[in-house]
Amino acid sequence: MPGNKTLVLVSRPNGPLAPDHFAIVDKEIPALAEGQIKVRNFYASLDPGIRKTLGEDKSYWQPTPLGAALTANTVGRVLESRHAGFQPGDLVFGTGAMQEISVYTPGKMCWKLPPDSRLPLSAHVSILGGTGLTAYFGLLDVGKPQAGETVLVSGAAGAVGSIVGQIAKIKGCRVIGIAGGPEKTRRVVEKYGFDGVIDYRGKSREDLQAAIAELCPDGVDLYFDNIGGIQLDAALSQMKWRGRVAVCGLISEYERTEGSGQIMHNLFSIVAKTLRVEGFLSFVYHQQFREAQRELEQWILEGRLVYDDYIREGIESAPEAFMALFSGANNGKVMVRIAAPDDAI
Ligand SMILES: NC(=O)c1ccc[n+]([C@@H]2O[C@H](COP(=O)([O-])OP(=O)(O)OC[C@H]3O[C@@H](n4cnc5c(N)ncnc54)[C@H](OP(=O)(O)O)[C@@H]3O)[C@@H](O)[C@H]2O)c1
């Protein structure tokens, strides 16, 4: 039986992640049942939301049991098939385990990659996968930006935030980002084309409010939040009457320990300005993914949209890559290359 290296959770973090919360173990590859496929994975994503499954509380997924694999989005090639619609050699996307070889049931968070895509395989777990699709549906369907509006985006140098800002620009909005540190803030303006940016590091809630007020003097129509905490609190104070807040994620809260949270000061703005505050999960849009992937790829090929991938080599690098999401060390979508793709699409 060949090995199947898999990233598993060995202890529950209480606060920041550390390498010893994880282990790489060999898992058995189950025999294929009728309707299943066996896939060699090339790339696997590390998604901040998975941090929420490492504790004991239920989030949108069940807690990861100790000893079980971490969930990841993967792209890979079919090795063996007991599904009539899939042949060995097909390239597929799947949501499953962070491991070398996965058994998937097509139709259940597993499908073929678009055969006509001209982007590299890694793009299918980033700009054409969870990252790009989250930005696309969160901004366009939840946020509903209108040309001429002011859009504020937190996590603006990140995988989702950088795409949100660029799509908002494509839609004719004025876009301001919030990101951490001089290198990231420079990239937000110079590479992703935002109209302005705020470096949140070292700033209090009041400082952030003042910085947003300065760059958005008429207020914010739409705030796309990836971060939560004082960035959300500060943004609420600067929203326009009937503004919208698209809540994509609250990464500043994911490693918070019991009792360490900040008090929100501006929640009453939701009432006073009759704001619409709406959370969303990208996978509820799965029936519209193909259409969105086509548009995202078109924008990339036309040079109107750029994206960055932060790729680390080997499944052994997954714990460190995961931790980069919370330290801010990543520049783009965090993923690991589990095996070299054997050829292009
Ligand atoms: N709703 C959905 O369906 C969905 C799907 C995918 C992702 N998401 C959410 O989208 C957000 C962004 O995810 P991503 O994959 O694109 O990650 P990312 O933005 O590429 O990386 C995470 C970034 O968050 C910032 N950060 C981390 N901890 C922070 C803290 N304590 N305070 C302030 N900033 C902090 C860091 O940026 P700086 O260096 O700038 O601080 C870090 O680089 C997350 O909240 C994630 O949960 C939601």
Query: Which of 189, 325, 326 most suits a substitution to test ligand 1, by most atoms within 8 Å of the C-beta?
Result: 325
Strand partners, 6: 25, 99
CA atoms within 13 A on the CB side of 61: 19
Q: Whose CA is nearest to atom 18 of ligand 1?
A: 158
Question: Among 121, 113, 104, 200, which Cα is nearest to 158's?
Answer: 200
Distance of CA 184 to the CA centre of its chain: 17
* Superfamily name and number for 131-282: NAD(P)-binding Rossmann-like Domain (3.40.50.720)
> What is the chain's length?
345
CB atoms within 10 A of CB 273: 16
Query: Which of 226, 282, 323 most suits a substitution to test ligand 1, by most atoms within 8 Å of the C-beta?
Result: 226
In the structure, how many helices (H) and strands (E) does the chain have?
8, 15
CATH no. for 5-126+308-337: 3.90.180.10
Tell me the CA–centroid distance for residue 320 and ligand 1, in Å: 16
CB atoms within 10 A of CB 246: 26
Tell me the CA–centroid distance for residue 175 and ligand 1, in Å: 18
Domain limits of the chain? 5-126+308-337, 131-282
CB atoms within 10 A of CB 271: 8
Tell me the CA–centroid distance for residue 199 and ligand 1, in Å: 15
Whether ligand 1 lies within 6 angstroms of the CB of 328 is answered as yes
Query: Which of 131, 153, 160, 201 most suits a substitution to test ligand 1, by most atoms within 8 Å of the C-beta?
Result: 160
Whether ligand 1 lies within 6 angstroms of the CB of 227 is answered as yes
For 316, which DSSP code?
A: G
Residue by residue, pLDDT tens for the chain (345 residues) are 467 999 999 999 999 999 999 999 999 999 999 999 999 999 999 999 999 999 988 777 789 999 999 999 999 999 999 999 999 999 999 999 999 999 999 988 899 999 899 999 999 999 999 999 999 999 999 999 999 999 999 999 999 999 999 999 999 999 999 999 999 999 999 999 999 999 999 999 999 999 999 999 999 999 999 999 999 999 999 999 999 999 999 999 999 888 887 889 999 999 999 999 999 999 999 999 999 999 999 999 999 999 999 999 999 999 999 999 999 999 999 999 999 987 554
Q: Whose CA is nearest to atom 11 of ligand 1?
A: 226
Domains 5-126+308-337 and 131-282 are alike in CATH topology? no
CB 43 within 8 A of CB 91: no
CA 299 to each of CA 147, 155, 164, 268: distance values in angstroms, whole numbers, following the listed order: 18, 21, 13, 39
CB 188 within 8 A of CB 197: yes
For 29, which DSSP code?
A: P
Whether ligand 1 lies within 6 angstroms of the CB of 226 is answered as yes
pLDDT at residue 2, as a whole number: 61
Whether ligand 1 lies within 6 angstroms of the CB of 76 is answered as no
Question: Among 139, 144, 143, 186, which Cα is nearest to 166's?
Answer: 139
